[in-house]
Amino acid sequence: MNNTWAVCKREFASYFLTPVGYVVVGMVALISGLSFAMSFLTHVDITQSPTTFAYSTVPDFEESLLSPFLVFCGMLIMFLSPLITMRLLAEERHRGTIELLLTHPLRDREIVFGKYFAALGMLLVMMLIVSVHLMVVGYFVDVEPAVLVFGVLTVFLMGAAFISLGLFISSISRNQITAGTLTFGLLLLLFIVGNAGEKLPEISPMPETYPAMLRAPFGFVYATFRTFVMELLVDAHAKDMAQGIFQPHDVLYYVLFSAFFLFLTFRALESRNWRG
Amino acid sequence: MIEALKLTKFYGAVAAIQDVSFTVGAGEIIGFLGPNGAGKSTTMRILTGFSPATRGTARVAGFDVHEDPIEVKRRVGYLPERVPLYEEMSVDAFLRYVAEIKGVSRSMRRAAVGEAMERCGVSQMGGRLIGHLSKGYRQRVGLAQALLGKPEVLVLDEPTVGLDPRQIVDIRHMIKNLAGDHTVLISTHILPEVAMLCRRAVIINQGRVAVEADLATLTEGAREFHVTVRGDAGKAEQVLLGVAGVKSATLDATGQWLVQGTNVDGEAVNAALVNAGLGVSALEHRRKSLEEVFMEVVSREREAVV
């Protein structure tokens, strides 16, 4: 545990000894601030004439501003998370400091969790900045606490999932740029694939003229595939939670997502023992 | 303290080292020699638990590197060939971090870091960023990193590379002082360094141990004599070749005989010449330099392979 903390501390400090930390924090502040201001102005317009925006009555503050803003923050984190994860292990490998880590009495889990927690620390810093806006909102408006609590939780879980993917990619790369690009590409892919899932027709595309014996299993496989693709969508799992509805299966989705990639990271680090 | 038994490491189909075996006793400083690409670093990486051997076992400080890696790593200080440094950190912060992951207790950390810095002459550099240091200072910080926590075993991969002559002398002096308390395995290209620091050397070539012996034995094993003889050259040659152990006797342009062989006794050479009625005006026993031994070993192996 002490070692995990030591690795985590060093890694986190490094974010702010190099420009990375400042760049990420600055970008989050700039973009979330701008988008918050813009959503707020839109909200004001909507409140003044709801009918022009296809609302029958004045919408809830939570519904038209807060939840979409939280989901947007999740997306912002998706764009920036490769920046905080790409260096985690790739840089150690590139600089040769991996030799230091692996020849000191550290267990693999202390290295992996140390790095993961450091990146989660950066995520917390990002969310701290986002919560400045939420605090301003909380001061002036009577917001439903559930929206805030579950909304912030879901953004955090989403970010943690992105980071676990990034950590894994970093663990198999030697070059930070490769790691960053690949992470970003995969995250974007998850995002797009989910949307593509909605385009898939609900009924099996196999023609009716085929024998039923074939159609039944194919239909099952297709349905599973379709559900799977649709469930992959990373932000779909955030929408309900961001509206203040606690959804255990969404929480589970993000937790399993993280666990899966942390598991892969362990295997990747272990592979030094059997790879030439 | 260090026991390597038939270590073999393959990178793909290429064997970096094959059946490397040697032992290092407690408190000993042993030199690890070999041309580039001979497998020195590979062996050191296996001993320190960085990468596993394909075959063979290694025991360091009584623990098997493969079975108890953590116990081994607690007892080993390692300076890799490429000094592992976090450039964005200050020397102080870096060494404190290393002390922490080495398991130096919180109360001892400051003192341990201070001592290691002093030993390596970087006390004044504590606040400097590692990225701003010169090569020599980086090397020293790397060395300080290895010494932290007073590990029983030190594995130093070319510790004096990049240092200026004065620093080299300092570092050698420091390493020499480590003997007794620490067991040191040191690899280097600089042969006089080995002659200065070590009593024993392992010469590794093309992935195999070519020689493992005391330096005294290495340089003395094959004796050479320079003899200046007055009298008939033909007779002198006959007499010289007749001495026990002499393999060759050649006359050079200056009129000096070079007598080579194994376990040749100088007195016997002298006696034989005098008994034969030849005058001996000079007889000099010449030790081989480590360079010569090294070159011999390396080129012999090369010929054998070709």
| Count of positions (residues) in chain B | 306
Structure tokens at A61: 């503050």
Residue B305 has pLDDT above 60, yes or no: no
From the list B45, B51, B84, the residue facing A100 with the nearest CB is B84
A81 Cβ partners below 8 Å, 6+ apart? A119, A123, A159, A162, A163, A166, A183, A187
- Return the closest-CA partner of residue B150 out of B112, B200, B100: B112
CB A261 within 8 A of CB A181: no
CB B145 within 8 A of CB B98: yes
CA closest to B95 among chain A residues: A10
Between CA B95 and CA B120 the distance in angstroms is 12
Q: How confident is the model at residue B273 (pLDDT cuts 50, 70, 90)?
A: confident
Across residues B221-242, what is the average pLDDT?
78
CB B206 within 8 A of CB B305: yes
The mean predicted confidence, pLDDT, of chain B is 85
In chain B the first and final C-alpha atoms are separated, in Å, by 36
A273 to chain B, any CB pair closer than 8 A? The answer is yes
Cβ <8 Å between B102 and A99: no
Between CA A192 and CA A190 the distance in angstroms is 6
- Pairing, β B2-11 against β B29-33: unpaired
A60 Cβ partners below 8 Å, 6+ apart? none
Distance from the A63 Cα atom to the nearest Cα atom in chain B, whole angstroms? 45
Residue B223 has pLDDT above 70, yes or no: no
Q: Worst-scoring range by mean pLDDT, B51-60, B79-88, B100-109, B269-278? A: B269-278
- Pairing, β B63-64 against β B2-11: unpaired
Q: What is the CATH number of domain B2-216?
A: 3.40.50.300
Q: How confident is the model at residue A276 (pLDDT cuts 50, 70, 90)?
A: low
Cβ <8 Å between B11 and A103: no
Cβ <8 Å between B52 and A3: no
Does the ipTM surpass 0.90?
A: no
> Backbone phi, then psi, for B211, in 5-degree steps?
-145, 140
What are the E-state strand segments in chain A?
none
Distance from the B135 Cα atom to the nearest Cα atom in chain A, whole angstroms? 15
Between CA B34 and CA B209 the distance in angstroms is 9
Considering only CB atoms, which chain A residues are within 8 Å of B52?
Answer: 272-273
- Residue B73 has a pLDDT of 93
Considering only CB atoms, which chain A residues are within 8 Å of B102?
Answer: 104-105
From the list B50, B97, B103, the residue facing A10 with the nearest CB is B97
Q: How confident is the model at residue B94 (pLDDT cuts 50, 70, 90)?
A: very high
Residue A29 has pLDDT above 70, yes or no: yes
Across residues A172-177, what is the average pLDDT?
91
Find the angle CA(A144)-CA(A163)-CA(A268) to the nearest 5 degrees. 150
List chain B domain ranges.
Answer: 2-216, 222-287
* Cross-strand pairs, B154: B77, B184
From the list B83, B85, B89, the residue facing A17 with the nearest CB is B89
Residue B86 has pLDDT above 70, yes or no: yes
CB A69 within 8 A of CB A230: no
- Residue A75 has a pLDDT of 85
CB B182 within 8 A of CB B32: no
Q: Worst-scoring range by mean pLDDT, A28-42, A221-235, B11-25, B185-199? A: A221-235
A17 to chain B, any CB pair closer than 8 A? The answer is yes
Regarding predicted confidence, which is higher, B292 or A5?
A5
From the list A95, A99, A106, the residue facing B101 with the nearest CB is A106
Between CA B256 and CA B224 the distance in angstroms is 12
List chain A domain ranges.
Answer: 2-273
Across residues B9-13, what is the average pLDDT?
87
* Cross-strand pairs, B209: B204
- Residue B221 has a pLDDT of 55
| Count of positions (residues) in chain A | 276
CB A214 within 8 A of CB A206: yes
- Residue A20 has a pLDDT of 92
Residue A43 has pLDDT above 80, yes or no: yes
Q: How confident is the model at residue B228 (pLDDT cuts 50, 70, 90)?
A: confident
Please name the amino acid found at residue B37: G
Between CA B132 and CA B207 the distance in angstroms is 37
Structure tokens at B112: 């341990």
Between CA B116 and CA B111 the distance in angstroms is 9
Q: What's the order of all strands across the beta sheet hosting B183-187?
A: B76-79, B153-157, B183-187, B29-33, B200-205, B208-214
Match 């939280």 to its residue by tokens: A70
In chain A the first and final C-alpha atoms are separated, in Å, by 31
Match 């340089």 to its residue by tokens: B219
pLDDT tens digits, one per residue of B38-55: 889 999 999 999 989 999
pTM score, two decimals? 0.84
Regarding predicted confidence, which is higher, B223 or A23?
A23
- Residue B304 has a pLDDT of 55
Distance from the B198 Cα atom to the nearest Cα atom in chain A, whole angstroms? 25
A163 to chain B, any CB pair closer than 8 A? The answer is no
- Pairing, β B55-60 against β B2-11: antiparallel
- Return the closest-CA partner of residue A133 out of A214, A229, A66: A66
Residue B12 has pLDDT above 50, yes or no: yes
The mean predicted confidence, pLDDT, of chain A is 86
The interface residues of chain A toward chain B in range 103-132, judged by CB-CB distance below 8 A, are 103-107
Across residues A39-44, what is the average pLDDT?
85
CA closest to B155 among chain A residues: A103
Between CA A153 and CA A258 the distance in angstroms is 15
Across residues A38-65, what is the average pLDDT?
80
A267 to chain B, any CB pair closer than 8 A? The answer is no
B145 to chain A, any CB pair closer than 8 A? The answer is yes
Residue B71 has pLDDT above 80, yes or no: yes
Q: How confident is the model at residue A13 (pLDDT cuts 50, 70, 90)?
A: very high
Residue B19 has pLDDT above 80, yes or no: yes
- Residue A16 has a pLDDT of 94
For the B222-287 domain, the top CATH level (class) is alpha beta
